[in-house]
Amino acid sequence: MKKIVGIAILIITSSYSYSQQIPQYSQYLRNQFMVNPAAAGVYGFTDVTISGRLQWQGFTNAPMSSYASICAPISKAQKVKYNPSLRMSTGPVLSPEVETGKLKHAIGGQLATDEYGAFRKVSFSGTYAIHLPLDKAHKYNLSFGAKLGMTNNAFLQDRAVVLNPTTDGTYVEVIKNQANQNTMNIGSGLYLYSSKLFLGISADQLTRDMVSFGASTANFDSRIHTYITAGFKVIDKPTFTLTPSVLVKYMASAPLSIEGSVQAVFGNRFWTAVSYRNTDAIVAALGLTISNKFKFGYSYDYSVSKMKNYANGSHELVLGIMLGRTVSTSSIPSL
Domains and CATH numbers, the chain: 2-325 (2.40.160.40)
Please choose, from the candidates 295, 285, 289, 328, the residue with its C-alpha nearest in 3D space to the C-alpha of residue 48. 295
Pairing, β 119-133 against β 270-277: unpaired
User: How many residues are given for the chain?
Assistant: 335
Q: Give the DSSP H/E element, type plus range, for residue 265.
A: strand 257-266
pLDDT band at 22 (very low <50, low <70, confident <90, very high): confident
In this prediction, residues 122-133 reach a mean pLDDT of 96
Report the alpha-carbon distance of residue 208 to residue 100 in Å, rounded.
34
Residues 2-38, buried b or exposed e (16+ Cβ, 10 A)? eeeeeeebbebbeebbeebbbbbbbbbbbbbbbbbbb
Residue 7 has pLDDT above 50, yes or no: no
Does this model's pTM top 0.85? My answer is: no
> Residue 145: its pLDDT value, please?
98
- Residue 153: phi and psi, rounded to 5, are -105, 130
Report the alpha-carbon distance of residue 248 to residue 117 in Å, rounded.
26
Dump pLDDT digits (tens) for 73-111: 996 544 444 455 444 445 577 888 899 988 999 999 999
pLDDT band at 290 (very low <50, low <70, confident <90, very high): very high
- Note the helical H segments in 20-138: 74-79
Residue 327 near residue 90, CB atoms below 8 Å: no
Mean model confidence pLDDT for the chain? 82
Residue 37 near residue 147, CB atoms below 8 Å: yes
C-alpha distances in Å from residue 311, one per residue of 54, 119, 179, 234, 281: 12, 19, 28, 36, 12
Report the alpha-carbon distance of residue 103 to residue 218 in Å, rounded.
44
Q: Which percentage of the chain shows pLDDT scores above 90?
A: 52
